[in-house]
Structure 1
Amino acid sequence: MRRVKAPIWWLLVGMWFASSSQAQLPALAFLSAPQLQMTRDALQEKRAAPQTEQAWQQLKRAADHALHQPNLSVTQKGIIPPSGSRHDYLSLSAYWWPDPEKSSGLPWVRRDGEVNPASKNDQSDGVRLAHFTADLQTLALAWYFSGDKRYAEKAQSMARTWFIDPATRMNPNLNYAQGVPGKAQGRHTGVLDGRYFATRVVDALLLLQSSSGWSQQDQSALHLWFSDYLHWLQHSKLAQGERDAPNNHGSWYVAQVAGIAWYLQQPEVIKQMASLARQKIDGQIRADGTQPMELARTRSFHYSYFNLQALTSMAQLMQRSDAGDLWHYHQQGGSLLDALDYMAPYSDARTPWPWKNRERMSLRLIPLLSLADNSLRSDRYRRWIESADWTNPAMQGTSAMRGAIIQARRDTWLLSLPSH
């Protein structure tokens, strides 16, 4: 990449920055170290694309907000888990509701795609975990891009609160995740909640390893927590049910276990997950690229995208770990690229989605297409990436849609720059 000639004062700033936030990134699981380095250089040298600068400003605003928020912990919930310990994570399944035919409402009944607000409040941990992991990742990235040690210090403090401090730490299990009152204290589907420990937390912790104030004691404590959690994922009955799930749940199990194995430097576990990922593709993707189990849902677009998000993340990790090529893998049915080919036209919101559906956030596909092109060094999805409309007011109606667009813009223009 061509660089502009910098004045001597800027070179001195660059030397300071390299010493404060590492000149050489560690090998990351789901983010691309070379891409992050290119983005940081472009931002520093004031030659970033407008979309990248906008994504950076949005990330910085989010990091500045996170600086002033209290640290989150599983001990802050209102509901006490069946174990009697608030240190155990607890969440309620989103699509289950009190049975209107029964005075007690028990057991709750399923209404696919209809989110029960009771599953999204402070009484349980689901929203808390999502906020914690999003803020941790945002702060770690803001520190890397800016060199501002306040971001690293806050991220370190948050990680210690959630994982290490005896008074506030989470026990390394998901025994009570996505419970259903009157039916189950915890279910295998709740293992899905833990995907953020891999996709957001692992790379954030790897980035923070070289930040000032991060001690060997912190590092050892986190390795112990993740080792215990990986053991739970590999051996608990609930987690084994998730491993065997034939839809997006099984795909996310694969990505979660592989990401944590990357953090713990366990390549054999990654190879095991690579083999399982190939089985998931065999059972999930048809020759025409459709994903029948996801299309059967009332939120068919979301789940078709969601499954591909897990599989593309795994494909990238396998590529980095020499565990095989998942992008082109094809034995029966269709390939991962067949599925991306099928979905790519629907990144344009004007293209009608032909399946039963509740809502659609088309731009969420763009980061996956950009990731595929970057990983394969191709322009296979170039026209869809270049034609993406990030400003269409019709796509910004609800807060969920606005948040999805901000995240998709960040993932595309800050974390996985289009290669064209």
Structure 2
Amino acid sequence: MKHIFLRYFRFSFALVVLTLVGCNSSSKNKVYLEEENKAKTDLDIGLVYYNELHLQLVKKRIKEKDSYFNNKYHEVLKEGQAALDYVADPVTNKTQIPPSKDLHDYLSYAPYRWPDASKLDGLPWIARDGIINPVSLGADTDFSRNTAFFDAIEKLTWSYYFSEDKRFAEKAIELIKVWYLNLETRVNPNINFGQAVPGLADGRKAGVQEWCQQSQVITAMQMFENDGILPKDVKQGMDIWFNDYLHWLITNPMAIEAGLTRQNHANHYNYQVVGLMMYLGKNEEAKQVVEDAKQARIADQIMPDGSQPREMGRTKSVQYATLNLWSMTELTLMGQKLGIDLWAYETKEGRSLKKAYSYLTPFVLGIEKWPQRQITEGGPEKAINKYMVPVFSMASTALDTILIDPKFKTYTNLKPLDALRYPPINLLHRKN
């Protein structure tokens, strides 16, 4: 499958290199970027990651005091209120110095790597799949602060969207400035030192997935711009930063390798690349990535029976099989906006997203026992209810198709925000 990705790379790089600008761009480059964005294709994609019609219907349901959606709304609003008190914690607050000697570079440790007890210095760290080393969550590196930042942006953005209270948007913009734009605190647009392994690697391709939730920032930018409350300088600065990060993703050898891993990391890579391209108006390039995903992702990762062996061989097989399929589902939703239908794609051998969901259905319904390892507390059954069942509800909404009879209420375990972003179809259209 490597040749498929490289074909895309040669195509996109020739176009992107003409428009991407550096971190220290001059005002002339900023003006150029602004003019370039005005010249985006005529394709109206709306919000990159979400179905706006569904979201508008949810807002309508909330205003009508629908019990289900109104209750979820107040839970989301409560989380947004708490996020108003979140104190910015930029990458420059870490105490561990990256190999580059630049605190602005993101740094994290591989979560499943541990010191080798058989060696005095413990080096190099060794793998213990599925078992998180608490050191990887420490304040001396950036993973936890990165997670907290994206989490705050997510809660603030959606609280603003559903309540239209500008306090949430203003707080989110303040945090975005600290994380991305302020010279003293900004993060550099690369993940050169993500998921480092002491004694083995300063950074690894697996680190690329740690910025998947940057999608929350893109959504925030779109919502605030649509409502006319996004400062022009923030828009210009973020367009430059996103262009620089996209450039890193499609030119850095380690990042490119992340897109060639033939498992969930490759799908997380696509999610970021396509999302950035769509946001920046590079829709033709985004189309090529999505089109290539038919062979490079669906045909390569899903077996004719619908199983995902590279994910199901992990020690947390339920999570990985669910996570990987959901990532492909998100790409499918983005592809629909670009006019490409991944949901309908099927190989001659029967490999398809539909087959993958069909394979998991008996486990969601509880009529078959999960055959693979799941080392978390409660085993496969608890993990299926926590992760897999909600994804079936979300996917039914994202794909506008009923994957399981609504009487099974797969939406029961949805998180409050997911219940609003991916509203259960049967509840969204029910009569009061």
TM over 0.5: yes
Counterpart of 2:48, as a letter, is: A
Residue of structure 1 aligned with 2:54, choices 31, 35, 44: 35
State the secondary structure of the residue aligned to 1:31. coil
Pairwise CA RMSD = 2.0
Residue of structure 1 aligned with 2:329, choices 300, 307, 312: 312
Deviation of the 1:171 alpha carbon: 0.3
Does structure 2 conserve the Cα–Cα contact (< 8 Å) formed by 1:26 and 1:206?
no
CA distance in 2, matches of 1:303, 1:151: 33
Matches within 5 A, 1:46-195: 46=65, 48-50=66-68, 52-195=69-212
CA distance in 2, matches of 1:388, 1:351: 20
State the secondary structure of the residue aligned to 2:108. strand
Pair 1:231–1:157, CA change in 2 (3 A): same
* Deviation by residue 1:207-239 (Cα, 9 ceiling, x = unmatched): 122456521111010000000000000000110
State the secondary structure of the residue aligned to 1:135. helix
Deviation of the 1:194 alpha carbon: 1.5
Counterpart of 1:296, as a letter, is: G
CA distance in 1, matches of 2:133, 2:407: 35
Pair 1:26–1:42, CA change in 2 (3 A): farther
Check if 1:343 corresponds to 2:360: yes
Pair 1:201–1:351, CA change in 2 (3 A): farther
Partner of 2:14: none
Check if 1:410 corresponds to 2:413: no
Partner of 1:11: none
Does structure 2 conserve the Cα–Cα contact (< 8 Å) formed by 1:367 and 1:416?
no
State the secondary structure of the residue aligned to 2:421. coil
Partner of 1:14: none
Partner of 1:325: 341
Pair 1:202–1:346, CA change in 2 (3 A): farther
State the secondary structure of the residue aligned to 1:178. strand
State the secondary structure of the residue aligned to 1:172. coil
Partner of 1:15: none
CA distance in 1, matches of 2:220, 2:243: 17
Partner of 1:219: 235
Check if 1:208 corresponds to 2:227: no
Deviation of the 1:369 alpha carbon: 2.5
Question: What is the aligned residue count?
Answer: 375
Partner of 1:398: none
Residue of structure 2 aligned with 1:260, choices 252, 276, 291: 276
Counterpart of 1:246, as a letter, is: R
Does structure 1 conserve the Cα–Cα contact (< 8 Å) formed by 2:389 and 2:410?
no
Counterpart of 1:410, as a letter, is: L
State the secondary structure of the residue aligned to 1:209. helix
* Deviation by residue 1:234-280 (Cα, 9 ceiling, x = unmatched): 00011011011111111111111101111111112211221332121
Counterpart of 2:263, as a letter, is: N
Counterpart of 2:83, as a letter, is: A
Deviation of the 1:30 alpha carbon: 1.3
Counterpart of 2:94, as a letter, is: K
State the secondary structure of the residue aligned to 1:414. helix
Partner of 2:396: 373
Matches within 5 A, 1:350-369: 352-359=369-376, 360-369=383-392
CA distance in 1, matches of 2:50, 2:371: 33
CA distance in 1, matches of 2:385, 2:232: 43
CA distance in 2, matches of 1:354, 1:175: 37
Partner of 1:297: 314
Pair 1:352–1:410, CA change in 2 (3 A): farther
Deviation of the 1:372 alpha carbon: 3.5
Runs of 4+ in 1 over 4 A off after TM superposition: 348-351
Deviation of the 1:283 alpha carbon: 1.0
Deviates more, 1:123-132 or 1:108-117: 123-132
Deviation of the 1:201 alpha carbon: 2.0
Residue of structure 1 aligned with 2:303, choices 262, 278, 286: 286
Pair 1:87–1:281, CA change in 2 (3 A): same
Deviation of the 1:118 alpha carbon: 0.4
TM-score, with structure 1 as normaliser: 0.85
Partner of 1:396: none
Counterpart of 1:214, as a letter, is: L
Deviates more, 1:211-220 or 1:162-171: 211-220
Deviation of the 1:366 alpha carbon: 4.1
CA distance in 1, matches of 2:230, 2:399: 35
Deviates more, 1:223-232 or 1:28-37: 28-37
